[in-house]
Structure 1
Amino acid sequence: MNTMNTGRWLIVWGIAGTIGIVVLISFLFWPKVGITSTKSVLAGQSLNVYFTNPVRENLDASKFHVMKGNKKTPAKLSYGNKNASLQVGGLQPGDYTLHIPSKSFGMWRRAEDQVLSFTVIESVQPVTSMKEIENFFERVEPQGRSEIMEESSSEDKASTSGGADHSQTNQQVAGVDEADTVKTDGDFLYDVLNGEGLMITDIRNSNEMVRASKVAFSDEFYANQLYIDQDKVVLIGGRNLDAPTSNMDSKMTGDRMMPTQQMSVIRVYDVTDRTNPKLIRETGAEGYVIGTRKIDQFVYMVTNNQPFL
């Protein structure tokens, strides 16, 4: 009798084990839906998320939800491309995550990623007409002449008193500062480290310079220019954004390099404590940086944008 019960239990365990192995294999080789999106988007624009398979028709877009930290955030969600893409809009600048519901693509398909992280960047307002540019230079022209006269006067005074403590780097026009990769305020040296980070070095003791701090960039941001303004450091750089493609597009462009789009980014750090720089603002604009200038407390950036067709 005991032998029969043992045999039955072995059969049951064998069947259960077989089912478990089948389920595990099915899970590992279950059809996956690829998801593509950029990691950054400008405020006022929608984040486009592309799926290699469409979302099932009876799933409302509101079932996707956006989180900021641990809090659910209202967002404008809508489908496009016959449910093969999702537009996420109506968000303020900040870091977010998009959560994808289970079984979004049917019973037999699952998403490669259930959570997508992205950042909404404050948008720089572009110049909309030549008249705006003309008005701007009409406003700053008198101020520029005053700055030149004041600078000439200060230079005359400096020549009689032994010179300044440190030179203004890369300043060809009085009152207009040009960007550089390394700048100094006389006490500290600021370096963008080949675009990989911001390093501040204490140079008050020329015989023993000390590194005050180093900030590494880990979010695909790179910097190639900087400005300093008292206790603020302004970094000019950008991010390369992959141009998302649909499943059909990927088949057509499989033998070609994925196109990229540039986003120009300005970051402002508070360096009141040189040993602990703090990022206090980030803003950006689509396109490549053509040039930048700093006049007083304002940084002006000119970009060139070539949108994908």
Structure 2
Amino acid sequence: MNTDHAVEVRDLTRRFGDFVAVDRVSLSVEAGQVFGFLGPNGAGKSTTIRMLCGLLLPSSGAGRVAGFDIMTESETIKRHIGYMSQKFSLYDDLSVEENIDFFAGIYNVPRTRRRERKDWVLDMAGLADKRNSLTRSLAGGWKQRLALGCAVLHEPPILFLDEPTSGVDPLSRRQFWDLIAQMAQRGTTVFVTTHYMEEAEYCDELVLISRGRMIAKGKPAELKSVIPEDILEIRVEHPSEALEQLEGSGLVKEVALFGDTLHAVVEDAEAASAAVGDFLAGRGLATTGITQVRPSMEDVFVSLVELEDRRSMEGAPT
């Protein structure tokens, strides 16, 4: 294994019967990186992270985490990583401080350092004044920070976060990513799965995964460059109806809902803007604005999934 790589896997595969949840994933993560594993729910992100954490044995493939073999040294891996699952592993009937004490014992934090580490978690999570509060009384964002603190009590070199911001408000998500950045600056490698496309911007490097297969890997700016065409943002009163009309119009290469607007991939933004506006107006769907925008990570993901689907169809037996 490359000593600069905290995580390195080759052709990692996991089957459940006839279902292939993770299909030949190969990747490497440099020490100190914030590495994002990005994809929709059901794409295989959690299955991958569980294999890397020694919680699930791969069906095939090879790899090392923190220098240890994922096939034969899973128990050793567990002692050298931090792991925060989708569902908070905190105990609701314990106080904040009791949860920290419990996990300090689980992770074998030396007794001489437990006071110091507890104070660090309380400070990092902003929970010093809530140390005696029952964990069940905390809002989602506070629980999230406490769970993160408990996952790194033993100061692991690698931290795995599985959908850590799922179900919390946007402000809490932003604050949580600030904490991740601080940890990475101190040398911790952070491997994080997410289905929030905007969170990709916070990562040093990304893998995009769909239906168990990697469809792209690179830095956020590099991945955005894979779309050579223009992107139009279309504001229209009934976006779902407009989407249906545009899909078969021949005026756009791809089109997808983007919040309360549409994003369309076109050859030439200037020419397509007028044509799309006239086309929708002729169908009683007046637009309130059509502008060219820079591609977002969601645009990249949609385009790459469409490309992968086309390749699969072309390669499918008739």
TM-score for both structures, normalised by structure 2: 0.21
Structure with more of its chain in helix, by fraction: 2
Higher relative contact order structure (alpha carbons within 8 Å, sequence separation ≥ 6) = 2
TM-score, normalised with respect to structure 1: 0.21
Higher CA-based Rg: 1
